[in-house]
Structure 1
Amino acid sequence: MRRYSSLKAAAAACSLLLVSACGMLSDSSPSSSSSLHPPHLEAQSELGATEGQVDLISWAGYVEDGSTDPKADWVSPFEKQTGCQVHNKVAASSDEMVRLMKTGGYDAVSASGDASLRLIASGEAAPVNTDLVPNYKDVFFGLKNQGWNSVDGTAYGIPHGRGANLLMYNTQKVSPAPASWSAVFDKASPYKGHVTAYDSPIYIADAALYLRDARPELHIKNPYALDQKQFDAAVDLLKKQHADIGEYWSDYLKEVSAFKSGDSVIGTTWQVIANLAKGEGAKVKAVMPVEGATGWSDTWMLSSKARHPNCAYEWMNWIISPKVNAQVAEYYGEAPSNIKACQETSDRAFCDTYRATDENYWRDIAIWTTPVEQCLDGRTNVTCVPYAKWVQAWTEIKG
């Protein structure tokens, strides 16, 4: 999925506007995956003595000890403070993370929403006692008790950060400036061979999100809760789009290169990619289309088989502490999960660039959530298409 090295956001024109913490940290209507019925597991009630080590699975750039970049090291001070030696396995995809967690050899994982419900439903992820994570109180409300990291109000992880899947285009070659996802679906033919899309089964949700507005008769409410008719419509749209696709991307560096060379002129992106492409001279702009967008939020989840749970809790609290969360967010290229991290970033405009404090912005983002048979939009009279069938369909879409 995502692979990051040292990143710096482009400077924003405006300064960071810190909004009232009460609006960021509390609200009356959290959502959770109430239709999911995971095995009954009890959260840890108290912390014990640390075990001396912790075994993690993460995206590249999340667990840095200075070996990749001497300036990026938040592992060494953690080890010194807690006595927990960090052993980390970098995973290349959500599927790999799920497979590794099922071995029982790891304590925690930085799971994205397209993996988290699979881990919860299978019993691989344990409920998390957020009272044992002091920094959790400062996590943005929009990341707490959400459909990808909780079930019926029970937290199954600690939010790490979030990002949106935006529409990026070459300002010199794409005209008029696009404002809708129709530019990569129904109106993509003028750019045939130069359209790019994210290479993952979860991209089916992008088509569903577009169809939610483009074809209201389908009655799509949640792009991750698709009955067979809705799913078939999304898959059909993507099969048609395939004729216009020049490249599917999963490595962000390849997308930067493709937009610089002109091989790609329009397609899905992340804010960090747009910043890097601009910084390297590409004439690009990234926008939020009128339909909204999908997005991702990574969650540190505790293995139900964790051999070092106390060190894992110490890690989860450490990685979302303000200073460390700011370091990771800037290095990786995402909005931090801790509101106080915005006061710790080296680039004072960083949280403006990544819209970290703008909860209205995030309400238009459909965060990746694992599709399951129990429809996540609350319907009980139909069965929704589970993720395994999304994987099969993605192979067919790509031909």
Structure 2
Amino acid sequence: MTILTLQQAQREILAHSRPGLPEMIPLDRALGRIPAAAIRARLAVPSFPQSTRDGYALRANDSEEIGGDPGSLRLTVVGEIAAGRTRPAKRLQSGQAYRIMTGGLLPPGADCVIPFEGVHREDEGCISLQRACRAGDYIRPVGADLRRRQIIVPAGRPVMPEHLPRLATAGVGELAAYPRPRVGLLCTGSELLDDTGETPVAGHLISGNRFLLAGLIRHCGGVPVDLGTVKDDPGAIAAILTCQAESGLEMIISTGGMGPGKYDLVDGVLARLQAGLLYRELHLRPGKATMAAMLGRTLFFGLPGPPPAVHLLFYLLVAPALRRAQGYHRPRPQVVKAHLQQAVKIRRGGVIQLKDAHLQADKGRLLVRPLPPGATMNAIILAPANRRELKKDELVRVLPLTGAGQHC
């Protein structure tokens, strides 16, 4: 089978990924979900003209009579309008004003509000204006924040925290969103133990990929389904994969068993199950011991055993499929260019090298360096295939893992 490039593998994966049928979810569970269609405001916000200050509602034409003599115009205060009042006030006549609070419903006939500090209060029923005001002053008109039917969340974009109050005030209590994909994770290897409380004997170790993959799947919006740890037994591996593919999982990820050794069994199991192979090797390091296939309707990823390789390959291969399955319009990772903060040696050339890295912005430039000890990876350097060394300050291609435009 032809060895694919990273871009070819991503295209092949996305061609076999699709979102499930939309489901209705309440607003309090909508964070991070992808709407099946653009979400529009059901109501205008505000739905009535409201005051933006504590003051007096009046007619702008009345205030024009002040001319050059502040305090010469007196208005009769005919009532008070508090925020939350729904009973319509009587229509305002010339020479009248309403005392009004911030958020209050503008009375009929009024077209401006003057703050308390703009008037002189002579007694309970009369004020004099210190200055003129214009129509529209200190009024938030209908639809100033959101027009009715205005798009709040575009299709193919996740619901973010800042969307939630806008959706609520616009009367959107539920929405149609694509379901979160259920992803099975299976760790293979007779040396692996599940119980983190055990003290392994020599030759055994506790499986860390279970926790790594579960965290990565959740981080990218999926629902992890732990299929356990299985020994190097082709019959046992085949039984689990067959059962779980038939259970309706959208994806399955296995780790380990992908090399050319005697106990690297996943390739043979997939052939025995007559899986539709998408690729078996990539022009990528790590990536030689990796594969993707279709088990019926379930997309299968075979990843190598070392957690660092799992971490890197997940973002480049699995994450795009997870994003497509949730309805993202642009599921492929967005690569940027950044300046190297230090030289990077490449041990073996010939294929693109993936390097875990730390990316930061500084004075308008993106800076990247190989991951320092104890730091958290937030980017991947894509080192060119034809280089044995990358020089300090040169521009390199980088995949940001968090930040603008990156959900996972």
| Structure with the larger RCO, 1 or 2 (CA within 8 Å, 6+ apart) | 1
What TM-score comes out, normalization by structure 2 length? 0.21
What TM-score comes out, normalization by structure 1 length? 0.21
Which has the higher Rg, Structure 1 or Structure 2? 2
